[in-house]
Structure 1
Amino acid sequence: MTTDASQGQAHGSAKHLYQRHQSVLPDWLAVYYADPIELTHGEGRHVWDAEGNKYLDFFGGILTTMTAHALPEVTKAVSEQAGRIIHSSTLYLNRPMVDLAERIAKLSGIPDARVFFTTSGTEANDTALLLATAYRRSNQILAMRNSYHGRSFTSVGITGNKGWSPTSLSPLQTLYVHGGVRTRGPYADLDDAGFIAACVADLEDLLGHVRPPAALIAEPIQGVGGFTAPPDGLYAAFREVLHERGILWIADEVQTGWGRTGDNFWGWQAHGQNGPPDILTFAKGIGNGMSIGGVVARAEVMNCLDSNSISTFGGTQITMAAGLANLTYLLEHDLQGNARRVGGLLIERLRAIAAQLPGVREVRGRGLMIGIELVKPGTDQADPDAAAAVLEAAREGGLLIGKGGGHNTSVLRIAPPLSLTVAEAEEGAAILERALRSSQF
């Protein structure tokens, strides 16, 4: 990493800030690194901490800085909107909100779509669950094992990853379905066609024993779960079974949307043979750091609520201005295509590195959404200590990455801004290779 000592003098000690953090914030509010860092500014694909250290950012604030840090087009849009009006609530007409809703409705692929804006992915998934249960008059939900859908009381109740679900209490009855993890579980040894057939048979058997649920909610690629995914076509096969019974399909695109997977604009499109989802949720990248989430659903589902509602902060003018500028930049610069090209090169580079390391079980992913699963060499046993060590070594080398996974957080998560260059991808891969080797796992 590179250092500008003057930055540290301006901002003070990170250690002291961490002590203040611990004294006033919850113990369960996790931070990365044995010595946590404070990020003070960024540009492009790089960020700097309060001590002046420069890092190549391969995590983007948890897949949220989607295009680039300090993107001029977004900064200008936010500044200009702030000079006019920042907020009015949904009780008044809001031109930027209508403009962005029109674009997202068209991009969603859902016919006769309606869009409701929230402030986060958690709130978006909460809203989707409200719509589905009200529309179907059922509080029973199908969710995927190893899934993650947010931190609210409702969304942790459908999260299939015990590390992120602090309570079993829930207003919903949740049934967990096979299929989100291709290389673990009872069907891992089957080929793709056999895997899909087995998961569909399991779903049909499950539905034969319960009252019809309201919906299935699924991430096309599981984010917090370690960037795991089923074979293409699984959710299309599921949708056929669900549609026959009137059960809705909710695609949680909070992490997979906006072209990050490279091959498609939405993750559901890898499974779209039987049409789009009934409900789609989004967040994270669309705001490039501003708090935007939302739900898209066909009109009859979105309009099923029979009471009034508003959103105080969802769709506020300043976040909508950021979203419009960010989406325009992404489309005009074909960042989906860049994710496909640069992400493909990065995945192949990482797989070549992994082939020489017995502690790497798998390198997986699509576009610029890549997971490296670590195990104890010679076994299939997850190695969270190795993941933590690599995370630290990568930071020491000037690279920020994430971690996750349903097996004791043993997956390194790589999700840079979609404007990543080939040179930056190679630089990051080289740092990561040194971090993997130096951790001696």
Structure 2
Amino acid sequence: MSDPLSPTHPSLHERHQAVLPDWLALYYEQPLEITHGEGRHVWDVDGRRYLDFFGGILTTMTAHALPEVTKAVSEQAGRIIHSSTLYLNRPMVELAERIAVLSGIPDARVFFTTSGTEANDAALLLATTYRRSNQILAMRNSYHGRSFSTVGITGNRAWSPTSLSPLQTLYVHGGVRGSGPFAELSDADYIAACVEDLRDMLGQTARGVAALIAEPIQGVGGFTAPPDGLYAAFREVLQEHGILWISDEVQTGWGRTGDHFWGWQAHGQHGAPDMLTFAKGIGNGMSIGGVVARAEVMNCLDANSISTFGGSPITMAAGNANLAYLLEHDLQGNARRVGGLLTERLRAAAAGLDVVREVRGRGLMIGVELTDARAASRVLETAREGGLLIGKGGLDGAVLRIAPPLSLSVAEAEEGAAVLEAALKQAQTELGGRP
């Protein structure tokens, strides 16, 4: 057996490469091992502290090591960790009651899963069963998960490794305001053109479509969004055909956008979607996902079904504690206030930099689109050197994704913006733009 302290002993990165898939992506030229976190900060294996502006892909919603959540998890673990959905589960019922009310969906039913991928997969099962159709409308540049069915409706080539699918997917205009054939139109004309395109598609190429699934703000796609009101206009057309609307709130839910609790609400408070899916932030790091649907849709399955790990007592305890903290401390309001300040600070920092195409976003969900993926990778590395963790996305990987915990303070927002400004200026200089 080799000595783990020997210089020839493989690094954790080398061990990762030896036993995990090549397509399991890692950030950074020298991948980072995070050992612990607190508040809005995390520490690596060498003891270096970072301000976390990505929250484990928008998952650490309130704060790292939030005492209320860790206490709830510890206390529940001391009682029972697992039972499955074959037994009554008080924490699951309590969280479902809260989410059903908050969803805005009338006569709502809630089914818990362990991830956003699984939540969207379940929503597709419900929609296709309810409508007796395998046709799905999805948005261009979209991302809905990594399962066989969700990859089949993903409109972003970078995250869709196969064209094989049990579903027939038709891609709709509207998810990306700044590109495509309607980009130069006013917001009102843009919505009208997208609606007309939808009507034309349904009239010519589709028969008995099951559902439209859409992210109110596209996450992996680079935090892009249509004008407010597009999905409400779509909904009117969908209802004429009996087509369901699924709002994918995996990244936009729980008040992250600041202005609204759910992303769909930016398109009109009246007329909730038929289904919404959620995950990530509600568990604050615990594996929780789920679907909310009208009872007639949720109850359309005529075969047995259970969830072994969905709605487990320990994850539900975390979700209840996390949601209570979010509401009691008005983190949606904090996302609106601090996110607005951070967005304006980043726009000011980007002014005059050729390397930056656009700063966009809502609340604490901010995208900084750069000229290309090379620039984004350079800024990602430089920001890390400055003690700041951010993400990236977009069709070609050219968008910096900024989504810190919703408890971010004004001082922390300014600290992160200063690091990011320096990284952008360095990329500008290195890549040949004017300083």
Could you say which TM-score interval applies, normalised by the shorter chain? over 0.9
> Which residue of the partner structure matches residue 409 of structure 2?
421
Deviation at 1:13, TM superposition (A): 11
Aligned counterpart in structure 1 of residue 400 of structure 2, from 412, 417, 422: 412
CA distance in 2, matches of 1:85, 1:212: 46
Map 1:210-359 to 2 at 5 A.
Answer: 210-272=206-268, 274-359=270-355
Structure 1 ranges of 4+ moved more than 3 A: 12-15
Aligned counterpart in structure 1 of residue 47 of structure 2, from 52, 58, 64: 52
CA distance in 2, matches of 1:112, 1:37: 45
Aligned counterpart in structure 1 of residue 156 of structure 2, from 151, 154, 161: 161
| Kept in 2: contact 1:15–1:35 (CA 8 A) | no
1:431 partnered with 2:431: no
**Cα deviation code 1:388-428 (max 9, x no counterpart):** 0000000000000000001x100000000000000000000
**Cα deviation code 1:295-347 (max 9, x no counterpart):** 00000000000001000000000000000000000000000000000000000
Deviation at 1:274, TM superposition (A): 4.8
TM-score by length of 2: 0.96
| Kept in 2: contact 1:14–1:36 (CA 8 A) | no
| Kept in 2: contact 1:46–1:54 (CA 8 A) | yes
CA distance in 2, matches of 1:13, 1:399: 31
> Which residue of the partner structure matches residue 369 of structure 2?
373
CA distance in 1, matches of 2:8, 2:129: 51
Unmatched 5+ residue regions in structure 2? none
CA distance in 1, matches of 2:224, 2:30: 29
**Cα deviation code 1:98-134 (max 9, x no counterpart):** 0000000000000000000000000000000000000
> Which residue of the partner structure matches residue 99 of structure 1?
94
**For 1:171, what is the secondary structure of its paired residue?**
coil
Deviation at 1:356, TM superposition (A): 2.1
**Cα deviation code 1:153-192 (max 9, x no counterpart):** 0000000000000000000000000000001111000010
| Kept in 1: contact 2:358–2:368 (CA 8 A) | yes
Aligned counterpart in structure 1 of residue 373 of structure 2, from 384, 402, 407: 384
> Which residue of the partner structure matches residue 17 of structure 1?
12
| Kept in 1: contact 2:131–2:208 (CA 8 A) | no
Unmatched 5+ residue regions in structure 1? 1-8, 376-382
Aligned residues: 424
CA distance in 1, matches of 2:208, 2:350: 44
TM-score by length of 1: 0.95
1:111 partnered with 2:111: no
Map 1:182-201 to 2 at 5 A.
Answer: 182-201=177-196
CA distance in 2, matches of 1:373, 1:13: 41
Deviation at 1:279, TM superposition (A): 0.4
Q: Which amino acid aligns with 2:87?
A: Y
| Kept in 2: contact 1:239–1:274 (CA 8 A) | no
CA distance in 1, matches of 2:257, 2:182: 25
> Which residue of the partner structure matches residue 33 of structure 2?
38
CA distance in 2, matches of 1:297, 1:419: 29
Q: Which amino acid aligns with 1:74?
A: V
Q: Which amino acid aligns with 2:419?
A: I
Deviation at 1:212, TM superposition (A): 2.4
- What root-mean-square deviation, in Å, do the aligned CA atoms of Structure 1 and Structure 2 show? 1.4
**For 1:235, what is the secondary structure of its paired residue?**
helix
**For 2:11, what is the secondary structure of its paired residue?**
helix
